[in-house]
Amino acid sequence: MSELATTPGVGGTLRTVQGLLLRDLRVLRRELWPFVARAVAQPLLFVFVFAYVFPRIGQGIGAPAQAGAADFATVLVPGLVAVAVVFQGITSVALPLSQEFGATREIEDRILAPVRVEVVALTKVAFGALQSLLAGAVVLPLVALVPAGEVDLAVPRPGLLVLVAVLAAVLSGALGLALGTRVNPRQIGLMFSLVVLPLTFLGAVYYPWTSLAAVPWLQWLVLLNPLVYVSEGLRAALTPAVDAMPPVAFLTAMAVAVALLLTAGLGGFVRRTVG
């Protein structure tokens, strides 16, 4: 087991991590089109229905905004990119982990690497974060082009966008690790019903968090949802015309969420691998 092996130096650890990442990248390259389809299917469907079909058939949810208010498509696009980023971490980390801990037992091969098991887990998070960034980069132009109306996108603070994107990607990988190490492989379907759907509908995806001021108890309750901060961060970085949380609020919350999820995920990984 890796925790019993001689601990390598920094150079040896980096080479091992590089090898693990290259192995995963090789698998991703072979499954590139399934990855793209998985990343864009849900956001593209939502934006097509809500921001293209509904305005054309006169449904109110996608109708033109009132004077001075942002169009629904402008509100929706950052939220859908947030969904793509966060849930890519779940599908690329949590689902493979559930299989590796279950039927395939592939995790036993990984923890034989000459590094601490925590490093193996962090490599999983890093690879999940990379896939999340790729998913966001693929989804953004697609969901911005589909709506029937114009999407008011602007990036007045590129540094904020980069910081939000990196934090969101790491958060998604950490969330995938936490779920993948704590959810029984036989309960993966239940996880999507009890975790993924509530995260989506209560994650400020289809509305700004500030608009929930009309329902104060819900506005405070959803602050437990990490997707809220990713949605609000991308909204502040990509659609400054839409009201969003102050940057200090969502950046701090994302950093705290990363720390908590990594702590939970690493603890679960160590327990599942070395008892």
Task: List, as one string, the DSSP characters of 122-154.
Answer: HHHHHHHHHHHHHHHHHHHHHHHHSSSS-----
User: For the ranges 50-59, 146-155, 219-228, 261-270, which has the lowest average pLDDT?
Assistant: 50-59
Give me the long-range contacts of 256-260 (CB less than 8 A, separation at least 24). Answer: 257/171, 257/174, 257/226, 257/229, 258/167, 258/170, 258/171, 258/174
**Looking at the predicted structure, is the pLDDT value of residue 16 above 80?**
no
How many angstroms from the chain centroid is the CA of residue 178? 13
User: For the ranges 61-70, 86-95, 181-190, which has the lowest average pLDDT?
Assistant: 61-70
pLDDT of residue 52: 76
Alpha-carbon span 46 to 37, nearest angstrom:
14
List C-alpha distances in Å: 191 to 15, 170, 183: 35, 20, 7
User: 108 and 1 in contact (C-beta within 8 Å)?
Assistant: no
Confidence of residue 73 (pLDDT cuts 50, 70, 90): confident
pTM: 0.83
Alpha-carbon span 203 to 41, nearest angstrom:
19
Alpha-carbon span 49 to 62, nearest angstrom:
9
Among 104, 117, 221, 234, residue whose Cα is nearest residue 169: 234
Alpha-carbon span 211 to 209, nearest angstrom:
5
Residue 104: what are its φ and ψ, rounded to 5°?
Answer: -80, -30
User: 271 and 103 in contact (C-beta within 8 Å)?
Assistant: no
Among 92, 93, 94, 83, residue whose Cα is nearest residue 44: 83
238 or 61, greater pLDDT = 238
Confidence of residue 3 (pLDDT cuts 50, 70, 90): very low
Confidence of residue 251 (pLDDT cuts 50, 70, 90): very high
**Looking at the predicted structure, is the pLDDT value of residue 46 above 90?**
no
175 or 36, greater pLDDT = 175
User: 233 and 168 in contact (C-beta within 8 Å)?
Assistant: yes
Alpha-carbon span 195 to 253, nearest angstrom:
19
